[in-house]
């Protein structure tokens, strides 16, 4: 692993015609074991976030954003101040970098939960109220998922899910669903489920907002609620986005057979969005494993048509992690006939 991390660091020094290659390298660096990351790597990423320079080169907004995301994956508590500064700096810092810094802070908090509870979590709650960009506020909200058992965080998530701005309520619903999925003995579990159930039928949220509540409820609802969500996912009268999000939530239930629905939907590649969501469900759930799973995913990869579908299939193959999956990803990465995005996702998967 140390040799791979060093190899990535050397490649980041290069000059390439397409900036996407360095984005892929940063994403791959973020997937390496934390113990292989040196102080030099973290300093390099911090300078890219803070000053917009990666080693000797000025970098644009996409690379700066991905540097923040990578710092969140491999950084430590000592890198928090860089991300806090980026989040609050308005001059010369784009909204995309702000949003990436918000995501990165949540990742570092998740990696160091006990230390984060004392200072970082209260800071994130306060900063969320001070920020103007609703997307950045929402990403900070999602970063608080592991701390939903904290009365301050749990109460705030419930308040926003019920009475927050319409653009923020779905994020709070997803945060509550993920928190309850990871900690089924949450002290306010029934209250959370009732809140999610109410959001599924709240037309003021719009189809995507209702879909987010359906996804969250599908993950954590009791047997009766799960059956209702399953019926919702199969109802052609419902907006497609609601059905898709409900399906994805069912795929992510920790102990139910609904994940097997993935196979039926992933085989039907006529619907672009539904195939992408189903393939994402495969990757997230880890349902397809071993040699048989690899064969099925490789077959899907040959049949799907768009770069986004192929990218999700590549990520799912990476989750399988078998020798056959590595061989398939390598074949994609070196195939000049594939689109750059597909090849980039294959490289990330190999990382």
pLDDT tens-digit series, residues 55-64: 888 888 889 9
Residue 220 · residue 181 · CB < 8 Å:
yes
pLDDT of amino acid 46: 94
Residue 54 parent element (H or E): strand 53-54
pLDDT of amino acid 37: 92
In tens, the pLDDT along 98-137 reads 999 999 999 999 989 888 988 899 999 999 888 989 889 9
Residue 301 · residue 313 · CB < 8 Å:
yes
Task: Identify the bridge partners of residue 171 per DSSP, sorted by sequence position.
Answer: none
pLDDT of amino acid 24: 87
Region of 52 on the Ramachandran plot (φ > 0 left; ψ -120 to 50 alpha; else beta): left
Residue 183 · residue 150 · CB < 8 Å:
no
Residues in the chain where the model's pLDDT stays below 50: 256-270, 287-288
Please name which of 202, 235, 237, 204 lies closest in space to residue 217, comparing C-alpha atoms.
202
First to last CA, the chain: 10
Report residue 64 as tokens: 């700066």
């Amino acid at each position: 692993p140390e040799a791979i991390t060093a190899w990535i660091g050397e490649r980041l020094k290069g000059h390439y015609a397409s900036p996407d290659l360095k984005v892929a390298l940063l994403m791959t660096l973020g997937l390496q074991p934390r113990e292989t990351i040196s102080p030099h790597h973290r300093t390099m990423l911090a300078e890219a976030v803070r000053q917009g320079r990666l080693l000797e080169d000025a970098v644009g907004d996409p690379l700066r954003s991905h540097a923040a995301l990578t710092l969140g994956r491999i950084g430590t508590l000592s890198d928090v101040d860089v991300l806090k500064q980026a989040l609050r700096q308005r001059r010369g810092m784009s909204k995309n970098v702000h949003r990436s810094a918000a995501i990165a802070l949540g990742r570092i908090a998740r990696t160091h939960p006990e230390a984060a509870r004392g200072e970082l979590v209260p800071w994130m709650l306060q900063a969320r109220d001070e920020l103007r960009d609703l997307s950045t506020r929402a990403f900070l909200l999602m970063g608080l998922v592991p701390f939903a058992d904290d009365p301050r965080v749990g109460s705030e998530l419930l308040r926003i899910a019920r009475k927050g701005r319409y653009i923020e309520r779905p994020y709070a619903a997803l945060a509550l669903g993920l928190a309850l999925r990871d900690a089924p003995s949450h002290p306010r579990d029934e209250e959370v489920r009732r809140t999610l159930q109410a959001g599924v039928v709240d037309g003021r949220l719009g189809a995507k907002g209702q879909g987010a509540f359906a996804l969250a409820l599908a993950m954590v609802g009791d047997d009766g609620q799960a059956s209702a969500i399953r019926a919702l996912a199969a109802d052609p009268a419902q907006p497609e986005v609601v059905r898709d999000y409900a399906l994805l939530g069912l795929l992510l239930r920790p102990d139910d057979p609904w994940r097997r629905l993935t196979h039926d939907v992933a085989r039907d590649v006529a619907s672009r969005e539904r195939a992408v969501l189903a393939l994402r469900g495969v990757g997230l759930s880890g349902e397809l494993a071993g040699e048989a799973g690899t064969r099925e995913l490789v077959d899907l990869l040959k049949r799907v048509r768009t770069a986004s579908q192929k990218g999700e299939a590549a990520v799912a193959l990476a989750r399988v992690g078998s020798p056959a999956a590595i061989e398939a990803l390598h074949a994609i990465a070196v195939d000049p006939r594939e689109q750059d995005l597909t090849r980039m996702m294959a490289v990330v998967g190999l990382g």
